[in-house]
Copies of this chain bind each other. A is one copy, B any other.
Amino acid sequence: MNTTIKDIAKLAGVAKSTVSRYLNGGHVSEQTKAKIRKVVEETKYEPNSFAQSLKAKKTNFIGVIAPTLDSYVTSTVLMAIDEELRKRDYTTLIISTSKHVDREIESLISLSRQKVDGIILIATGVTEKHIETINSIQIPVLIVAQEVGHVTCIINDDYQAGFKMGQYVAQKGHRAVAYIGVAESDIAVGQRRKQGIMEGLKSAGVSDVKTFVSQFDLQDAARVTQEVLEESSLTAIICATDTIAFGAMKTITKLGKKVPKDFSIAGFGGYNISGVIHPALTTIRFKNEETGVMAAETIIKLTNGEEVPNLQVSGFDFIEGESVKSVKS
């Protein structure tokens, strides 16, 4: 049987209210403190946090809903969130939905039953149903990685990142450029990033860009790349993610061509592994740690009813690898 505050009180010969005060730093005489301390140590008493939050109306839990755990971006953000929340005495409750969108809704509801103080939703897409559920549970929700009206959001600066990359590739002298992107249902990557790239290229004089659409996985990217390579005279391929870039490199290598000699390749992500691949991939590393910290800070503010900006933008670094070469123009 677990020891309770009542047991401690009895053993120390005081009222349980006194024990509670002792534990929470209220007014207790040194003498009494000593008695209680002794009993607490002997019994290895640990307060029941459920009972505590029942009265406190505050659980110090923050729920985080993630589409998956096995992606570099998600896990980095998750680690940063967890780290920051821990510092502030919150417990992170991570729920993975295995990319089932339905489960995001379910999780929102189940977390609300757990009475978490706030929820961070790392999103890949946000539907009407999401918004509806978010409004129906009366708990603050923060959306990460996608932008939605009337909900607090943190996003990557996909437009600027795209612009930077587009400009870079164009300035390297490439004129025949292809883009392998993802479905437009993904506002952040499918739309904003693409738009940035296009305008970045344009700003440096490249306006005719062939675009293709791939899934997020390597296999599909490798497949799509075959189509891409049918375009003649191409010198550079910009890929929406590093994984897609790896897929492209795989296909190119398989065809006996070389990066960057025959084709220049660029990606977005900055995974650790990018440095292993030879040649090192030129890419954009989003500041995932910054995003995580920001998310933790923001959700805490929200639970305290403080004002926070409706949209916050997290930065990025440009990583110059060896996968994009200069061409004479």
Contact = CB atoms under 8 A, between A and B. Distances in A.
Q: In the assembly, how many copies of this chain are there?
A: 2
B44 A48 contact: no
Nearest to A136: B44
A291 to B, nearest CB: 14
A70 B79 contact: yes
Interface string A20-55: 000000000000000000000000101111110110
Interface in A47-104: 47-51, 53-54, 59, 68-70, 72, 75-76, 78-79, 82-83, 91-96, 98
Contacts of A50: 50, 53-54, 59, 114-115
B48 A113 contact: yes
Interface string A231-256: 00000000000000011011001000
A272 interface: yes
Contacts of A48: 54, 113, 115
A138 interface: yes
Contact of A91 (B47, B110, B138): B110
Nearest to A114: B49
A320 to B, nearest CB: 18
A2 interface: yes
Contacts of A124: none
A69 B288 CA distance: 14
B91 A79 contact: no
A157 B229 CA distance: 44
B218 A246 contact: no
A143 B204 CA distance: 57
Contacts of A91: 93, 95, 110, 114
Nearest to A217: B272
Interface stretch (A8-16, A207-215, A273-281): A273-281
A109 interface: yes
Contacts of A93: 91, 93-94
Interface of A: 2, 44, 46-51, 53-54, 59, 68-70, 72, 75-76, 78-79, 82-83, 91-96, 98, 109-110, 112-115, 136, 138, 218, 246-247, 249-250, 253, 272-273, 275-278
Among all A-B residue pairs, the 10 with the closest Cβ atoms: A70-B75, A69-B75, A94-B94, A50-B50, A246-B276, A46-B113, A49-B113, A50-B54, A253-B278, A69-B79
